[in-house]
Chain A
Amino acid sequence: MTESTYRIQGDTGEWEVVIGLEVHAQVTSNAKLFSGAATAFGAEPNSQVSLVDAAMPGMLPVPNKECIRQAVRTGMALGAVINKWSRFDRKNYFYADLPQGYQISQLYHPLVGEGTLEISLDEKDPEAFTKTIGIERIHVEQDAGKLMHDQHPTRSYVDLNRSGVALMEIVSRPDMRSPAEAGAYLSKLRSVLRYVGSCDGNMDQGSMRADVNVSVRKVGDELGTRTETKNVNSVRFVMQAIEFEARRQVEVLESGGRIVQETRLFDPDRGETRSMRSKEDAHDYRYFPDPDLLPLVLDDAFLDACQASLPELPDAKRRRYESDLGLSAYNAAVLTADADTARWFEALLAESARVQKKGEQEVARAAANWLISDLFGALNRLGKGIDESPVSPEQGAELLALVGDGTLSGSLGKQVFEIMLETGDAPGKIVEERGLKQTSDTGAIETVIAEVLAKNPNQLEQYRGGKEALFGFFVGQTMKAMGGKANPAVVNELLKKALAG
């Protein structure tokens, strides 16, 4: 556990920042929370709207089991209390994106109670600076529709495609003390959700967004009044919003003002938060149990099935990579931060062990290094995610095997990898067709070395005269003459002999 030293320097001294996040995560499901309409992203406006979602008179909600299941699994992944008896409540307010005039949510009896999430603040050494952030609750609720304000001079357009999509609202305790901690929390939470498979974590598509609660206080003081900045949709913006909002609050307080508990909006273009006038009078939500829905009662069989379906989670996986596979803390952290990466790595690892007929721990380091430096480097250049990699784990394993058994030198391996990226061909085929095999044929190498020495009498004389730094020159000349295909170890050995005369 690490105490944050992050402070805002004000005219009157140092201020501490207190942060809590309410993360809205879209539950991965085919259909909406209470209707049979589709949830796919990017559909034509109002084309995924059922009569229930449009709140037609007499329409009734029927909950989607998968949404409940995913929220329960998420709770379990966060070590949280699962409430076997929960209820849906109505949160009443009027807005054009809310057809029913209320949002079905859970206030009094949420599905998931208290849990925790461990964050690390140093990615190079994940165990060095850790902190446990409390999760207060997770409840399930409906998303609202979307308003567009820039299509018409005097009208806003209403699209209800998102209306009724299932969200999990994951509410943290106000345990974070710096933008970095909030960023780490959000990244870690996203990672866990993607492992569990309960949310795709696509922040740019709105699948995950955070309401950021910020207050400031002098160190040791009581909690200050907080503001809530709504719907911030990236880790970077969350950190920016906190920084801006904390500074703003310090300025207000230091100039004798008072912080108003209010809803604010983050403007990513200006990196600022500002007051949201449109929701000012919506504070009295008149929550009460939704009379259209009965209490939600979960049985042990359902909960057991949820528990049994949980995958190995990132922290456990990271520790196992270190202890069982012998990976460095950094590599283990990089490989486990994202579920897709870990899945890719494990496929690579299994295939490598199979084709090389070795144990996983014997091939793990080479696989990890290649994935992190070569594959990630290439994907970065291409602007692709690992799930869009042009090279498959099987092809990667084949390449690693060719390097491992000396068929390819390190540099030939990189050359072949580049061709794989371009053509999508398997490495064996590339080596075969282009004759890129490394040679350890001593006769051939000796012939070339003899030619090199003959062509460079001056350098030979200087070397034999004691200028041993010229060894690299002869290696280079030999490799060049052999088109890079000579086994460097053999070249080294034979050159030494030849130069010694």
Chain B
Amino acid sequence: MSVDTATVKKVASLARIAISDADAERLAPELNNILGWIEQLGEVDTANVEPTTAVIPNSLRLREDVVTESDQRAAVLANAPQGEHGFFTVPKVVE
């Protein structure tokens, strides 16, 4: 598997991280190096092995259907970089 700069840019775009052409050039060999090393995992025979689902044997606990959180709009909005009238705001989205 070889990652070229176009792939780096595509992945960066999926991850919503703006990168320059120079960044992509720099990252491509770096990521190739890491991915190449990771690929040794392919050597392991995992034919009859289940993927790990829980690190420590345990299953999901369920909560009762009770409203435990009251209105905390002020706390929720307190750190917002931008907002008004009780809303978070973002650049206008055209759907």
Across-interface contacts of B18 in A (CB, < 8 A): none
Contacting B at CB under 8 A, from A10-62, are 29-31, 35-38, 44-51, 54, 56, 62
Stretch of A118-126, A169-177, A291-299, A455-463 lying at the B interface: A291-299
Interface membership of B86, Cβ < 8 A:
yes
In chain B, what residue has the closest Cβ to A35? B69
In chain A, what residue has the closest Cβ to B90? A96
In chain A, what residue has the closest Cβ to B88? A158
- Specify which of B60, B72, B75 is in contact with A63 (CB 8 Å cutoff): B60
| A36 B91 Cβ-Cβ under 8 A | no
Q: CA of A289 to CA of B55 in the docked complex: distance in angstroms?
A: 13
Across-interface contacts of B53 in A (CB, < 8 A): 87, 289, 294-295
| B93 A295 Cβ-Cβ under 8 A | no
What number of A-B contacts does a CB cutoff of 8 Å give? 132
| B73 A44 Cβ-Cβ under 8 A | yes
Q: If A62-B63, A64-B62 touch, does A155 touch B90 (CB 8 Å cutoff)? A: yes
Q: CA of A493 to CA of B64 in the docked complex: distance in angstroms?
A: 69
Nearest CB on A from B38, distance (A): 16
Stretch of A200-208, A276-284, A361-369, A406-414 lying at the B interface: A276-284
| B67 A65 Cβ-Cβ under 8 A | no
Q: Contact flags (1/0) for B54-95 with A, using CB distance below 8 Å?
A: 100011111111111101110111000010111111111111
Q: CA of A157 to CA of B82 in the docked complex: distance in angstroms?
A: 10
In chain B, what residue has the closest Cβ to A265? B95
- Specify which of A35, A48, A151 is in contact with B71 (CB 8 Å cutoff): A48
Q: CA of A38 to CA of B73 in the docked complex: distance in angstroms?
A: 13
Q: Contact flags (1/0) for A426-461 with B, using CB distance below 8 Å?
A: 000000000000000000000000000000000000
Interface membership of B14, Cβ < 8 A:
yes
Q: Tell me the interface secondary structure of chain B in the complex.
A: loop
| B93 A96 Cβ-Cβ under 8 A | yes
Across-interface contacts of B95 in A (CB, < 8 A): 149, 265, 276-278
Q: Tell me the interface secondary structure of chain A in the complex.
A: loop
| B92 A154 Cβ-Cβ under 8 A | yes
Nearest CB on A from B55, distance (A): 9
Q: Chain A interface residue count: which class?
A: 35 or more
Q: CA of A99 to CA of B90 in the docked complex: distance in angstroms?
A: 12
| B65 A30 Cβ-Cβ under 8 A | yes
Count, chain B residues at interface, CB 8 A: 36
Q: If A65-B64, A289-B53, A295-B54 touch, does A281 touch B88 (CB 8 Å cutoff)? A: no
Nearest CB on A from B87, distance (A): 4
| A155 B69 Cβ-Cβ under 8 A | no
Interface membership of A152, Cβ < 8 A:
yes
- Specify which of B68, B86, B92 is in contact with A149 (CB 8 Å cutoff): B92
| A51 B76 Cβ-Cβ under 8 A | yes
| B60 A295 Cβ-Cβ under 8 A | yes
Interface membership of A489, Cβ < 8 A:
no
Q: If A157-B85, A278-B94, A289-B53 touch, does A36 touch B14 (CB 8 Å cutoff)? A: no
In chain B, what residue has the closest Cβ to A96? B90
Contacting A at CB under 8 A, from B24-74, are 53-54, 58-69, 71-73
Nearest CB on B from A462, distance (A): 77
| B69 A156 Cβ-Cβ under 8 A | no
| A30 B89 Cβ-Cβ under 8 A | no
| A36 B87 Cβ-Cβ under 8 A | no
| A49 B73 Cβ-Cβ under 8 A | yes
| A63 B63 Cβ-Cβ under 8 A | yes
| B92 A37 Cβ-Cβ under 8 A | no
Across-interface contacts of B88 in A (CB, < 8 A): 46, 96, 157-158, 160
Interface membership of B7, Cβ < 8 A:
no
Across-interface contacts of B72 in A (CB, < 8 A): 49-51
| B65 A67 Cβ-Cβ under 8 A | yes
6 pairs of A and B residues whose beta carbons are closest in the complex:
A36-B68, A66-B65, A65-B62, A157-B87, A158-B88, A50-B69
Name A residues whose Cβ lies closer than 8 Å to a Cβ of B. Answer: 29-31, 35-38, 44-51, 54, 56, 62-68, 87, 94, 96, 147-149, 151-160, 265, 276-278, 281, 284, 286, 289, 293-297
Q: A35-B69, A278-B95, A295-B60 are in contact. List 18 more A-B contacts (CB 8 A).
A: A30-B65, A38-B69, A44-B86, A46-B73, A46-B76, A46-B86, A49-B76, A62-B61, A68-B62, A94-B16, A151-B87, A155-B89, A155-B91, A278-B93, A289-B53, A294-B59, A296-B60, A297-B60
